[in-house]
């Protein structure tokens, strides 16, 4: 499970990163809000843990920006501000949980696990994943290896069709009918052009291609 910790207290961050890694989590650390927001927007995490009071961009602004961009990654707020009003403000900003400092590490682990279960239940039908490639059907975003991939609407539809049938060959006729809603072959290279762009976006920079041509048959997405 991949986590992002945004914490400017370096001593506290070192302690948290060490403890989380010892418990099997993959953790990236950002020392300020600007760097944290950049990572949150460009990579995919299962849970984000963000201090509320951060340099450059505060924790609540990070959450607000993510939600405005329809990013629903669960966010656990850490804060020394622990009044009822403070917690309500954090949750209303779009935070999924609020943990007041100081806290027991065991409680942090329990809250992360609760957010993970909640997100998994919610994402069962809204996310598709093959190898390290993932698409979010709600936000219409694609990620590979945690990196965001920019796709046009038609490229996303084409990728979604392939990802719903991993390991199965998609013929030209199938793609024309299901992606372009055409029940005849217009005798153009429309599929070839879009598939070339999609393969360039998905596979470029990665050692293992996922989209393969099956000569004389069509295309298949597989590891």
- Which of 76, 104, 123 delimits the end of a domain? 123
User: Residue 212: what pLDDT?
Assistant: 95
Are residues 24 and 1 in contact, defined by beta-carbon separation less than 8 angstroms? yes
- Together in a domain, 89 and 151: no
Q: Which of 123, 154, 183 is the last residue of a domain?
A: 123
Residues 95 and 14 in one domain: yes
Q: Do both 8 and 118 map to the same domain?
A: yes
Q: Residues 182-206: pLDDT tens digits?
A: 887 877 889 999 999 999 999 998 9
CATH of the domain at 16: 3.40.50.2300
Tell whether 30 and 110 lie within a shared domain.
Answer: yes
Answer whether 0.85 is exceeded by the pTM: no
**Positive/negative CA dihedral, 24, 103, 111, 2:** negative
Predicted local confidence at residue 119, as pLDDT: 72
pLDDT value at position 187? 78
Shared domain check, 155 and 102: no
Q: How many domains does the chain have?
A: 2
Instruction: Give the residue numbers spanning the domain of 43.
Output: 2-123
Query: How does strand 127-130 pair with strand 133-136?
Result: antiparallel
Q: What is the CATH number of the domain that holds 167?
A: 1.10.10.10
Q: Cα angle at 80 between 47 and 41, to 5 degrees?
A: 30
Question: Are 39 and 62 part of one and the same domain?
Answer: yes
CA distance 223 to 210: 5
Do residues 37 and 57 make contact, with C-beta atoms less than 8 angstroms apart? yes
Q: What is the pLDDT of residue 201?
A: 95
pLDDT at 186: 79
75 burial level (CB within 10 Å; 0-12, 13-18, 19+): buried
Q: Could you say which of 106, 123, 140 is where a domain stops?
A: 123
175 and 112 in a common domain: no
Between helices 153-163 and 190-203, what is the axis angle to 10°? 80
Element (DSSP H or E) covering residue 158: helix 153-163
Average pLDDT for runs of 10 along the chain of length 223: 93 95 93 95 92 94 91 92 89 92 93 84 73 88 92 94 92 90 82 93 93 92 90
């Amino acid at each position: 499970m991949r986590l992002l910790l945004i914490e400017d207290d370096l001593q506290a961050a070192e302690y948290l990163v060490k403890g989380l890694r010892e418990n099997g989590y993959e953790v990236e650390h950002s020392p300020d809000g600007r760097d944290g927001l950049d990572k949150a927007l460009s990579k995919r995490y299962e849970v984000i843990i963000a201090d509320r009071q951060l340099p450059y961009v505060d924790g609540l602004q990070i959450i607000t920006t993510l939600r405005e961009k329809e990013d629903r990654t669960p966010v656990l707020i850490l804060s020394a501000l622990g009044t009822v009003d403070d917690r309500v403000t954090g949750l209303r900003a779009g935070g999924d949980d609020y943990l007041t400092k100081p806290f027991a590490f065991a409680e942090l682990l329990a809250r992360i696990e609760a957010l993970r279960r909640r997100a998994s239940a919610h994402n069962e039908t809204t996310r598709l994943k093959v190898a390290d490639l993932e698409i979010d059907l709600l936000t219409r975003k694609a990620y590979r290896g945690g990196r965001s991939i920019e796709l046009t609407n038609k490229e996303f539809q084409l990728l979604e069709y392939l990802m719903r049938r991993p390991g199965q060959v998609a013929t030209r006729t199938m793609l024309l009918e299901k992606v372009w809603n055409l029940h005849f072959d217009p005798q153009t290279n429309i599929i070839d052009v879009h598939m070339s762009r999609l393969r360039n976006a998905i596979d470029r920079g990665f050692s293992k291609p996922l989209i393969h041509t099956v000569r004389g048959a069509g295309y298949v997405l597989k590891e």
